[in-house]
Structures are given as C-alpha cells and as structure tokens.
Structure 1
C-alpha cells in the first residue's frame, strides 16, 4: 500500500522503471528520459488512456485509506503513442508498452482470448514480436464466475487459447503476474521488444506453471517464472521476475502462515535469480535477492502486512523501490506474492 525509495540516482538503462507516490516530484528521477507509460495502483480503476503522449493504466489496487503508487516506465529513446480500438500503447522503436481492460462479465474466457489475440496482433504489426513481461490484475480472482468456475481459472483458459493460436509467431510465454484487484474486471498491460532477445526461465524448485496438473484448472497458467532480456543494443541483461509465491513443485506450502510463506517465497526468488539457475539455462551471470528492485509485494490479509514487511525489509537493499498491496492472491491458500526486476 506504500512505496519506499531513498532518492536513487537516475538510471541509464534503455528501458527502466521507478515508483512515485503522491507529493513526490518525478522530474528529477526522469533526468531527461522519456515516459513510455505509467501504471497507477490506486483507489479506483478506469480503462487506460493516453496522457501526455504515453499510456496511463489505472488499476484499483489500494483501499481508500492507503497510499497509491505509480509505476513509471522510462526510455532513452523518443516515444510514439497511439490507440487501436481499446488498446492503448506507446513505442520507442525498440520497446512496446500496451494496455487494455476487460470489463466485468459473467464468464471471461472468450473476451480474454480475444483481447490477448488483438494485443498480439498489434505488437506483430508494430514489429515488436518478442514478449518480455505481462501483468494481469484480476477482480475477485478466486471468486466464482457465472458458471461456478474460479475467475482465475476462467481467465487462464482464455489466455492459454490465445497463446496456442499464436504459438507459431510468439516465441514462448514470458514472465507474468496474475494477481487480485479491488474492482471487478481485468486490467492487462504488457511489455514487448523488437531486437532484444528474451530468455524465459523456470525455477528448479517449482513445476513450470504451464505444466500444472488439472487439479489447478482446465488449462494451466501460461507464464514463465522469469524472463531475462538480452538487449539488442548490447546493454546489460535485465531479469524480470514473475509473481512468485510459497509453492514447491505445484503445492502450496505453509497454508495459514504468512510469515513462513513470505520466507519461502523469498527463497524461491533467490533460487530463480541465482547464478546456478542461469547456468542451468545456459546463461552467464546471476543475481542475489538483494539485487531485486521495483518490488511489488502482494498480501492477502491486512493483519499479515506487518509480519511480511518485517520479513522483507532485510531481504531488499535500502535504495530499492518497494510497494506493498493488500489484495487477493491467485490461490485461496496463498497469502503472499512477490515480483521485481534485477538489473
């Protein structure tokens, strides 16, 4: 529900992001860079719009008494923006940020499939044919749809169908987050690139999500545990860490205990970003948990926020941007989910 940072210096990556809160001046942190898009995690949500030449995504992710957080995506290149129906997007020639909203309905799968396919078609037409990262903010995520199916499972059917229909053109499923939101409907935004090389990673501690058994729904979730971007310009790699929870194999671990779930979630991320795991995927380098930045921590129950904050505080470096949100997680027995970026 709040974001923290300590005035970190301006960054120089081709694609980068930071968090800003009400009353903060983002101009110093932009340092001459251009805005590719903004995502406001606030009290009320609305369909995305173009504001100041860049998409503005507005998602209901904080309660009335909590502080909103805006995620600002920046680039070192000129930005061109536009609309394609209800898709709102911006491109800097190398990177694409696109957003769309699916309004509340009894059953989501057909609309989700159609929206994903239109988003894929847009990125294909614009020449950004490599997916980097996707976010899906799902209202009433573990509640029932009009057929009695869990909303997240309903959503996963449509998403899987879209990836299947584009399997010959989309080079694999990227890192993603599927998390609860505080109003009905689904807000989607994603990043793609033109010449960069995304490498999609799995976690040795966890079953790949797209191989989950039918016990978790008629179609498994379509995402990788992380995506490593090797920039086409020859810059340093960046690792996008998916929403990660207290899961070993495909089983929820420590149900009912948010502190232990948080500890295991951090251990899962540590294993995912480690040099050992990158070597397992034929890649050099690696990171530590303390390298994580632009961290979003999702906590199901307000009573667990203090314990989760205490567990996370020593794990992340003091200059990292960190935001906490009290929202539902994609399984009813999961209490914590964490995502972030390693630069």
Structure 2
C-alpha cells in the first residue's frame, strides 16, 4: 500500500491506507492511488457496501442475479436492503439493476445522505444538542436544501465531515477517491464499526480505553473533559435539557443501550443534552453502558448528575472533578460539586451546585460510565 502518488504527510494518507488495508479500495497497476480522481455512484456504492455490509454483498454474489447485471449490482442491492440509498440520486433511479446514474460522479450532498442513512441503520446519529448548533459552524448553511440538512448535520456531529477551511460545506462539489476513503474511515470510527466486516468493535468495558486511547482513569477523564470544554468555547447557543421529564424517562433512555441486535446507543439520544455530549466525547458512544450510583459520594469526573425537583428533572450536568466537600448518601447536597454546563450566551463553563440550591423536594442522582 505504498502508493507512489501519496507523499509523506498527505492529509488523507492514513485513511486511504486503512481503507485499502481492509480490501475495500485498491490502487492501480502502476502503483498509484490517484486520490484526486472523481468517484462515481457505482464505485462509491461498492466502497460503502464492502465497508459496512460485506456479508450481504457476498450473499448476493453467491446467489447470482440470474441474468445480465452491472458489476456493482450486489453492492447496490445490499445498500437498498438497509435503506441506504434513500434520498439520493441512486434511490430515485428506476433503472435497476443498471443504474442510469451509475457513471455519474457523487456530490457531497449525496455522500452526506448516504453516510447519514448508514448512521440511522446503525442507530447512531449523535447528540440532539450538538445538532442544534451545527448550522452556526457552516458558512453556506443557507445553500443546503432542507432535504439534506439532517444528513449534513449528523455528519458534522459525528465528525464524519468537517467542511472546508473557509467554513463552507460546498454540497454541490464532487467527491474524489481520497475524500471517499476519509469519509468511510471516519464513519467506521464514529459508529464503532470495523469497516470491512460491518461488525461492532469488540472492545467492551473491561480494559477498554477512552476515546483518547488512554486508560479509563479519573485523571484521564478530567483531562479530556477540560479539553472538550475548551473546544466548545465559542459564540453558540444550545438549549438546556427540557424541563419536566421524569427520572424514570431519563433512566429508560440511558438504559436503552443494548437493543435486540446488541447495538450500543448513544447517551445523547435524549438523556442530558450538553452534559451527555461531553460524556460521549470522553467515553465514546458505545462500549460503556451507564449505571446509577447507589453511593454518590463515589462520584468521579465525567459522571452525569441529574437534579430533580419533586421527581422532575431541572438540570443534567457533568461532574468536573472539583468538589467542595461531598454529597450525602440520600442525594442531598452538603457543600458543592463543580459541574460542566453550557453558558446561556456562549461557550462551555463550569458551575458549582451549592447548599443554596437546596429546598424541599430537590434531590440528585448520579450516573456513571466507568467500568465496574
């Protein structure tokens, strides 16, 4: 995979080598990769299917089409089975199995939609709070039609896309081979999926690492929290957690990690807004199921603190690791704990819940994602 036209330090080099190493993409006989070459819909369909649905592709190939069919038909069939083509040119093409658009080049709009459809199939589209602020980061947001906005937003939230240096998304631009590899590589990492097998990574809580690759220790969590908060310093406005949800409703979301297929769902699908987003950016969106602490004096940096008023949620915060004294076993506040939150007018900050917050009916719950 030492492609002759990929210089040392090439921006997409690592992603290209990773995707090629999984036999998802290949170079040319002359030893080049040709990273700037445009990608057709047929080619991109094959890359996506090889990365995320290889078993289905092989099953279709073993079955055979039973007649004349284009070289990409088994990949497109696998993608269709998972609704990945929905909302794209391929999804609207009625020329199956010979797609009329098969030789056309993929736009960034359709690339985002295809990636988003795979996210939905794997049941991970990121934090609702993060989705609310994405449009602040995209300079040409007004040029993105409504039909593509959800897809583009999810791609930014899961960091599959980061836009151009000038801040534009540039959706009408055409994809090239380097970009397609980067998107597939990032999408696999964001979903916790081994590209080339379509299966979740095997790393579980025991011995697993944080997103930084460091061991799961309180000091490492605290360091990551501080770095994530720094990243979010900016002139954005994010809504706080919706008041009035009961503790049981939040618990239902947090405990819904494993579905019937064993997929890991994100805590940020409704369980704490910015605080849960911080937790996901440290622990990841899979592999660390949440559990409620019976002894909240054992709270550690990165834990989620749910403030309840007569059983109704009024705040969800992330514990920063800075405490005055301690909480009581019943969840009452004695001195104060530092919490991360998003300031009303701007970036991330920290506050301290103190005895002044106490009044009849107010209690606290703590949820942790540290391995037992």
Normalization by structure 2: what TM-score? 0.25
Rg: which structure is higher? 2
Structure with bigger RCO (C-alpha 8 Å, 6+ apart): 1
Under a length normalisation based on structure 1, what TM-score does the superposition of the two structures give? Answer: 0.27
The answer to which structure has the higher strand fraction is 1
